[in-house]
Structure 1
Amino acid sequence: MTTQNLQKARKSEQLTNAFHIFNELSQNLSNSYQGLEEQIAKLNRELAFARSERLKTLEEKEKLANHLEKILAALPAGVIVLDAQGKIVNCNSVAINFLGEPIVERIWAEVMARSLIFVSNNPHECQLVSGKRINMTTSQLENDSGQIILLSDVSEMRTLQDVLNQQKHLSAMGEMVASMAHQVRTPLATAILYASQLSKPLIDKEKKQRFSEKILERLLYLERQVNDMLIFAKDGRLAMEQFSLATLLTHLSDGFRDYVGQDKIELKIINTLSDDEMIGNENALRGALMNLLNNAVDAIGVVVGTITVSVSQYGGHVRIAIRDNGPGVAEELRQRIFEPFFTTKPSGTGLGLAVVDSVIRAHGGKIQIDSTIGRGTVFNIMLPDKNQTLSLLPGGFSGKAIAEREMRHETV
């Protein structure tokens, strides 16, 4: 075979090999393309399924959102949603009716300043410019992402509470009148009897003195009953003035000695105040403290005893503690001791401590009882000092303002 023929044969073989390789590559490419098509088809099926599931989820979420929207619209309360910056991002129609537009995209603090007036000691209760009373509650969203605010119209409930309180007060006054009729008649008859004895010409000087003391004792008792009745009828509303607590304590000591008329009970008064100027009703406060002293005397009874009145500064308040060494008060009695007409005394009206509580509250204060059987009793009174009282009364020291503030607090 010639060289030329060998070269042709070699080229033919190479060409055959090349076609063979091309066919293999073409087959591989075809197989790969088919596999790719299958993968694409599979992915398309998966994508279609995922899209279908997502559409279902979105549809369910949309249904839920619509359902929640209907619930919000049907709620009788206003609902406001805030973001983390305090901006209103959503609200229902009731909130818009309460606060007026615009609301959404507004800062909540600005809307409050525009539409709400806080009129009581309760930070959750306010008044709309329309006069409606609104109760406001706030709930924090998860991860501090904002807040939900609920506004409820409590105007009707407050009105009903006011009517109920008035009815209770009228009912209590009816009980008081029935009780006072007996309580006044008995000491009055006693005073008249002693007075009639004084008119006899042959009565000796010693009896005159004793009868005069008895008459004075009965008249002082009647005065206390009438004062209690008047204060209770006024529901603790008092005219306020500036006075000296030291002077009040001096008058209290003198009045106590006139009432007790005996040396077996010692009265100690300890006053550590550097500034004893107060704002309040001196007569009512002195009467309330005298009521507590009288109770202490009754508790001590016939034995020798000591009553200590301690007055001290306690932050922005004046603390008055009245301590006796009597037999103490049982727990079940302590729970009811300030209730009107509750008494353990056969001849008691049950008004004394109720009036004390009313007077203390009218001064913006509080009273508590601490007692241990066999170890005596302490009445702790906390009253705002002069500066604290002035801060409570921005319009000046008006007793009506204090009383109204306390009455609003009681109905919240």
Structure 2
Amino acid sequence: MWIKSNGCANPAGETQLRDSIMLFKNNGPEFPCPAHEREKSGYRITACGIRLDTNYPPGEHLRMTVRTKRTKPARISFGKPFWARFSPWFILGVAAILAPLYSWMALTNMTRHEAFMNQLLLEKGEALIRSYEAGARTGLGLHNWGYLELQKLLIETAQQAGVDYMVVVDGEGTILADSDPSSVGRPYGTDLNLKEIAGSGQVRWRLVPNPGGEDSFEVYRGFSPAANRPLFGQGGRISPPVDPETIRQMIVFVGLDTTPLEDIRKRQRNQSIAQGALFLLVGCAGFLILFVVQEWRTTRRSLSRIKAFSDRLVEHMPIGLVAVGNDGLIAACNRSAEDILGLVPGGVDGKPAREILPQCLLDLLTELRESGKTIEKELECPLEDGRTLPLETLATTLDSEEGTSPGSILLFRDITEMRQLKEEVARSQRLASLGSLAAGVAHEIRNPLSSIKGFATYFRERYRDVPEDSGTADIMIQEVDRLNRVITQLLEFARPMTLQRVPVSVAEAAERAVRVIAAQAREKNIAIEIKISADLPAIKADPDRLQQVFLNLYLNALAAMEKGGVLTTMAATDPDGTVQVRIADTGTGIPADDLERVFDPYYTTKPSGTGLGLAIVHKIVEAHGGDIRLESEPGKGTVVTFRIPGGKGT
């Protein structure tokens, strides 16, 4: 998984951190990474992120390699832009949902509107019929009123706006009066049940085709202007008599112009189409907004998870990380950096780097700004508490998308343990080489020594009466014996060590060694202190070899305290069950230049020493599966610490 961050670029260059380091994974415990797993996994660091190239379950051993490599500026990426994720099927799906919905709404609205317009026309037609009936009813009582007057009244009524025609027919469908006088006497409405219409008095309507334009909205019902009264005026009969039965069967038809209705219907249809497009647009926009909001929430959750994971990973990575902005303020500092530099946890963010970081790292940042190139180097870094840490460092600038640099980043780690491991490996290799060489040389020397000692013994006996010659022979014999002892020690050092492991009390082994050197310590006015708890668990070790370790270390301490002092022995148990023994003296100490060679064979700072004491101690401790470390300061004394596994042994 890549963890990228806005405005960050991977550091340039490439470095491989080669020692064993610690790694947190899946909230599991930290665990060491042995060297034989060196190339199995990777830890690729960008300026603000880490790539973990491994599928190891929590608790397994793995090797973590840190590499940095320049790439393009990194940024948070979630794939395509959200608008590019819309499939055409999504658009079609939205349209398939919204189009029928709006069509139904538009159809319902148009149907309701058309029904309303039809009702208006129906009421208008009925009002015209009533008006015509009222005029006819009034005219019946006037002089000279008859069919001709009905025709005239019909023509005048039909001249109102929006009226196409008016027709009055009898029960047989013969036109009695018409707004077009030429149509009088012709049949009309014969396709209807005229007698039923005349008798019911119910207003009805229908659409009648109009060759000259839009269909006419025709309203019709029974017409009874005079009920059973004859159409006679007061001045005499003008019109022919009408049969009362004909009057009861008269029907009036009013044809209304539907052009305004069609105009309204067209406007309504256009309006509905426009509303439909707007509705579809608003609907799609609504779906789009919902989708964008959901994407925003998903992206926000993803960013939160990535940020939490990245922060946790960077916080627990075993490499110190410090980010410094162009303003000189510390933008980020993880826990490892605080531990390495001895900083106050969580108290450095936002503070000036010149007040927090040691001068060696400030100089590295200055060099980075001047060169603009990634810098990798090992530094000896003095700290405020007096320590001097060897650091492996990498400094690089951060690149933003605009091509500017928002700041710098420092990656560093304490390589003290790595140097100690290298020294141990080099020492072991030297000891192995010297041991092999010494074994061969010792065998070659021992045979001539036997001959020399034999001749020296012969000459001592022969010249017993000559003191000078006899003394010379004694010196030769003593030197041969001393040389033979050295060769014996050398052979013992060179050959593989065999241990007879039994449960051994560390306190008892120390006390036995103290009894051997007690007289010599009293002569030099040296106080001996043994601070070992009685409940310290026993270890499985070779008792003779363990006593030899104590004895050799005690003898070296006595040799360093010619003017008296204190020899202290302490022991404690580590959490893993390992027993740790510390032997401290207040002697002259060892120069710093000699510390790296004190465990080498035949290296000694004493005029009478053989240089094998500490080398043998080192070999015995390693044979028990332990390790030994020596710390010394000239004029203040020396502390030797060795660790041997506890009861189970190895």
Per the shorter chain, which TM-score range? 0.3 to 0.5
Structure showing greater relative contact order (alpha-carbon pairs closer than 8 Å, 6 or more residues apart):
1
| Structure-2-length-normalised TM-score | 0.31
Query: Which protein has the bigger helix share?
Result: 1
Q: TM-score, normalised by structure 1?
A: 0.46
- CA radius of gyration, larger in: 2
